[in-house]
Amino acid sequence: GESVGLHLPTLSVQEGDNSIINCAYSNSASDYFIWYKQESGKGPQFIIDIRSNMDKRQGQRVTVLLNKTVKHLSLQIAATQPGDSAVYFCAENVHGGSQGNLIFGKGTKLSVKP
């Protein structure tokens, strides 16, 4: 069925190290992907997005990679900081679907050790 899932439910990294959060999706019709960060007590916050016609997109300290062959998405965070501690969700939007209908994965909790 259609689903977005994550390989690792928790990830613990040392401050200053790079973090990689992975996500698998199963719907080949998805044409848009977003990473959200959710801190405790807050709503999801947009980090970075990528369209299916791209393989890579970079932001400030973050990079998203898309591998359509194996339906895999990853979020790389460079020089991870304590403020990066949160739950990270990947979400997909199916081509032709309601634009508000993002399909979210379960999330990966990132813990940054000082």
Q: Return residues touching other proteins (CB under 8 A).
A: 4, 32, 34, 36, 41-46, 49, 89, 91, 93, 97-107
Geometric angle at alpha carbon 60, from 66 and 40, rounded to 5°: 85
User: Nearer Cβ to other proteins, position 21 or 91?
Assistant: 91
Contact by Cβ (8 Å): 21, 88: yes
Shortest Å, Cβ 38 to other proteins: 8
User: Nearer Cβ to other proteins, position 14 or 95?
Assistant: 95
Q: For residues 46 and 43, give the distance between their C-alpha atoms in angstroms, rounded to a whole number.
A: 10
Shortest Å, Cβ 18 to other proteins: 24
User: Nearer Cβ to other proteins, position 41 or 114?
Assistant: 41
Q: For residues 91 and 89, give the distance between their C-alpha atoms in angstroms, rounded to a whole number.
A: 6
